[in-house]
Structure 1
Amino acid sequence: MIDIFIAEDDRDLQRLYELLLDMSGFHVVGFASNGDEAIEMFKKFQEKPDIIILDYRMPIKNGIDALKAILEIDGSTRVIFASADRTIKEIVYLNGAMGFLDKPFTHKKLVSTLKNILDIPKPIHM
Structure 2
Amino acid sequence: MNECSPACRVGIAIVEDEKELVKVYEKAFSRKGIQICFIAYDGIEAVKKYIECTPRPHAILMDYRLPIMNGIDASREILKLDPEARIIFLSADVAVRDEAISAGAYAFLKKPASLKDIVDTVKKATGAIPA
Do they superpose with TM above 0.5? yes
Aligned equivalent of 1:60, options 62, 68, 71: 68
Q: Whole-Å Cα distance in 2 between the matches of residues 28 and 42 of structure 1? A: 13
Q: Whole-Å Cα distance in 2 between the matches of residues 109 and 87 of structure 1? A: 20
Partner of 1:124: none
- Report Cα offsets for 1:5-50 as digits up to 9, x if no partner: 0110000011111000111111111110100000000010121101
Runs of 4+ in 1 over 6 A off after TM superposition: none
Aligned: 1:27 with 2:35: yes
Partner of 2:80: 72
User: What is the root-mean-square deviation in Å for CA atoms of aligned residues?
Assistant: 1.1
Identity %: 36
Structure 1: tracts of 5 or more residues without a match: 120-126
SS in 2 for 1:109: helix
Q: CA deviation at 1:115?
A: 2.3
**Partner AA of 2:34 in structure 1:** F
TM-score (norm 1): 0.90
Structure 2: tracts of 5 or more residues without a match: 1-8
TM-score (norm 2): 0.86
Partner of 1:38: 46
